[in-house]
Structure 1
Amino acid sequence: MGKEFRNIDIKIHGQVAILRFNRPEQLNAMNREMMDEIIAGIEQVNQTEDVLVGVITGNGRAFMAGADIKEYTNQTPEEFQSFQEKGTELYRCIEEAPKPWLAAVNGFALGGGFEIALACDMILASQSSKMGLPEVFLSLVPGGGGTQRLIQKIGINRTKEILFTGAQFTSSTFEDWGIVNHVYEDSKFEDEVLDFANKLARRPTKAIGELKKLANLSLSPIDFNKKIAEEGRVVLDLFYRDEAQKAIQKFMAKT
């Protein structure tokens, strides 16, 4: 599928693309080269019309254990700022994609790795996976939107616990807290993820894209009435499209 990469791998399974972090010896820790490849890979999937759902996962024992500390600590101030700005671009590629992206957390998802998962539309996790934001142990704070996206998903009290303690939390705990959508057995994880993604790929493409935009719009600071107006505009636009009219007629024929 297009460009070859060194630090990630992309495989197409029908209408589903699986982007896999591929630095297993480093627990998929993200350096600058890898970040560039992730952005390029996500954009490549976003631009592939036949692919309707993207999945992000990791190779080996980790989803991603955050930034590559060796490179992270040896950057000049200018390089460090550039790295942070690249990270913002990465999360935007996921959140503003016209199609859904799922995080398939197969192991450790810490720091920037967990922030990538938070930027995805949903999180599917293996039973043994652990997630967290441990930056406090380095006298730092998350730099990839972790403080803000967590609050949007679960509220301020739980967010402060995750941030202040820097602890690693189990997938079952995060499922209870509303961060993880589904937890699957380790032995069945990849099959369950692909099955979920394939079900999503069978939903009407245009409607899914608009639903993603509307859901994200709900988190914006614009006036509530403008959000409702946008929802109404989308309903009218979709209703008169052939896809919706055919689906409505098919439904009516069954009743």
Structure 2
Amino acid sequence: MDLQYLLLSVEANVATVTINRPDKGNALAPQVLEEVAALFTELGVREDVRVVVLTGGEKYFSAGFDLNEIRKLEKVSNEAYINLFHRAYRAILFCPQPVICAVGGAAIAGGFDLTLMCDIRYASERAKFGQREIVLSLTPVMDPLWRIIGLGRAKEVALTGRIYDAYEAEKMGYVSRVFPEGKLLEEVGAIAREMATYDRGCLRETKALSNKVLNEDLDGAMRVQEWLFRTYIGSEDNHQRIDALQAKLAAARKK
């Protein structure tokens, strides 16, 4: 597909999607959202892609809503624009492959919400996070935020509109790790490539499981997990990986 505001590279079963509107701080104009929705939908059916990385590069992530576009809207004409945001959000959230977010700079309002839809978030030490909708008299996306950091923290993020630095985001459990400035893409790329060596079906099922169990009672969740584990244990790939690990451990013991 033709892309104007996104860059796509696929290597070693990892698709890297880069928001590329640096002159506007990667603000989310309608065309950007259209491309995000279309590209993630397309990536979801590609068998050569096992892991997706979403980034804005080492300097930016996304400044969020394109305020010039929002200023044009009236209540009676906002449905299509809002639907566009949520199509982009859902395309990331329900992408079958794990989606890793690499945040190199500010992720504000709509930009923050894009990070929210990803499965794992890593940040550069210069990254900033803020759900700033409340400042603009807008309501924020609370779900899945509360599922990630807990309801109390989510209320603080949403109701205060505070901007958090990378280490604060890591402390609250929103970001998994913080990397030195300039090292983010290298480190996240290595993690993604390692993940992409894992069984394709297991990666997808584990992501689907992590979403499904939130809506199950404990007994239902345990049954789903039992069924999935039974599906993969004893498979040819399972046996091959056990053999490889045992060979590696045996070689290490001989040293």
TM-score by length of 2: 0.90
Within 2, Cα distance between the matches of 1:151 and 1:204? 30
Identical residues among aligned pairs (%)? 28
Find the aligned partners of 1:104 and 1:247 in 2 and give their Cα distance.
29
Other-structure match for 1:89: 87
1:215 is displaced (CA, Å) by 1.1
Most deviating of 53-62 and 105-114: 53-62
Query: For residues 41 and 78 of structure 1, do their structure 2 counterparts lie closer, same or farther at Cα, with a shift above 3 Å needed?
Result: farther
Match of 1:239 in 2: 233
2:221 to 204, 221, 227: 227
Q: Which amino acid in the other structure matches residue 194 of structure 2? A: K
Q: Counterpart of 1:186 in 2: which secondary structure?
A: coil
Q: Deviations over 1:164-196 (max 9, x none)?
A: 221110011110110001111112122111111
Instruction: Give the one of 15, 21, 24 matched to 1:26.
Output: 24
Give the residue type in structure 2 aligned to 1:183.
V
1:249–1:13 distance in 2 versus 1, CA, 3 Å = closer
For the pair 1:155 / 2:153, whether they are aligned, the reply is no
Change (3 A) 1:154 1:96: same
1:4 aligned counterpart, secondary structure: coil
- What displacement does 1:122 show? 0.3
Aligned equivalent of 1:115, options 113, 122, 145: 113
CA shift at 1:58, angstroms? 0.9
1:174 alignment counterpart: 169
Cα distance in 2 for partners of 1:85, 1:227 equals: 32
How far apart are 1:116 and its partner, in Å? Answer: 0.9
Check whether the contact 2:63–2:109 (CA below 8 A) recurs between aligned residues.
yes
Q: Where in structure 1 do 4 or more consecutive aligned residues deviate above 4 Å?
A: 249-255
Which structure 1 segments of 5+ residues have no match?
none
The answer (yes or no) to whether the contact 1:27–1:61 under 8 Å persists in 2 is no
CA distance in 2, matches of 1:193, 1:14: 14
Of 209, 218, 221, the match for 1:214: 209
**TM-score, normalisation: structure 1:** 0.90
Q: 1:39 aligns with which of 5, 28, 37?
A: 37
**What CA RMSD, in Å, does the superposition of the two structures yield over aligned residues?**
1.9
- Report the Cα distance in structure 2 between the residues aligned to 1:199 and 1:130, rounded to whole angstroms: 27
Aligned to 1:141: 139
1:136-190 Cα distance to aligned partner (Å, 9 max, x none): 1112221xx3x12221111122222212221110011110110001111112122
Q: Which of 195, 198, 217 does residue 193 from structure 2 map onto?
A: 198
Is the counterpart of residue 164 in structure 1 residue 162 in structure 2?
no
Q: How many corresponding residue pairs?
A: 249
Verify the 8 A CA contact 2:57 2:185 in the aligned structure 1. Answer: no
Amino acid at match of 1:65: A
Q: Does the CA-based 8 Å contact 2:107-2:128 persist in structure 1?
A: yes
**Which stretches in structure 2 are left out of the alignment for 5+ residues?**
251-255
